[in-house]
Amino acid sequence: METQCLFVSDLHGKENRYRKLFTVIRERKPACVFLGGDILPGAMTATGSQSDFLTDYIAGELRSLKSELGRQYPRIFMILGNDDGARAEEEVLLIAQAGLWEYAHNRKLIFGEYSVFGYSYVPPTPFLLKDWERYDVSRYVDPGCLSPEEGFVSIPADDYERRWSTIQVDLERLAENEDLSKAVFLFHSPPYNTKLDRAALDGKSVDHAPLDPHVGSIAIQRFIESRQPLLTLHGHIHESARLTGSWQDKIGNTFCMNASHDGSELSVISFSLEAVSSARRDLL
């Protein structure tokens, strides 16, 4: 029997997309759902509106869905993204305590014979909110971007951690010596130089320095190359699928998928864990 899953990312608090997602869950009754970050409204801010959206809208809708589906209610694995203020973690954890979803960031969760790892951080961006930004493999910052030490954070953050932590070291600690042959990694950032991380930066420069249109994580790319998990799920770069013509890629034996979308539709990727090569994307 195959384990049917749904993956969405970068809903950015748009209720029309959430309504479509809840309808798809009701109709297809998947075993699990992955939410890949940037789930809340309000880019570049960490105001109370994000917390209100979690408690007043998402939690209420999930309770109704769980009441309706009963034992067919899916496991929901979620992380936050770089537009989601870390201040919202408190509400995220309360929703998790209520049994409505499972917070995966920087954790390993067990799902039958599979393991699920979550990781929210992205390499430095031009944006001001820095709750979920890390240096990638070194303290280098691309032209036009602000370091994790600049901008602002929505909750107090350790200065040493902001200055010296890297995605590369985080992933080494998260995965340790695990066998990842049946592991799913729920990332917000896509891997660097793939079909999943292409931004609309062609011909653009900052202070005469040309911008790299590939804006994913080198650390995530190297991690996938060396550790070869079964599947990695990504978001963050909305226009990538349109620019490259593909929402999926493969690194070695690892299947990689990006569910973010720059149109008005909801992008839903459907797959079974036993046959990830047969995944499909629907724009609803």
State the chain's mean pLDDT as an integer: 95
| Rounded Cα distance, 65 and 60, in Å | 9
pLDDT digits (tens, 9 = 90+) for 108-165: 999 999 999 999 999 999 999 999 999 999 999 999 999 999 999 999 999 999 999 9
pLDDT at 52: 86
Give the mean model confidence (pLDDT) for residues 69-90.
Answer: 96
pTM, two decimals, is 0.96
Tokens describing residue 99: 């049994």
| Rounded Cα distance, 273 and 231, in Å | 9
Beta strands in 59-161 (DSSP E): 75-79, 102-103, 108-111, 114-119
Query: What fold characterizes domain 4-283?
Result: Purple Acid Phosphatase; chain A, domain 2 (3.60.21)
pLDDT at 3: 94
pLDDT digits (tens, 9 = 90+) for 109-125: 999 999 999 999 999 99
pLDDT digits (tens, 9 = 90+) for 26-74: 999 999 999 999 999 974 444 457 888 999 999 999 999 999 999 999 9
Closest among 198, 261, 265 to 38, alpha carbons compared: 261
Report yes or no: 188 and 38 within 8 Å, Cβ to Cβ.
yes
pLDDT at 47: 46
Residue 231 has pLDDT above 60, yes or no: yes
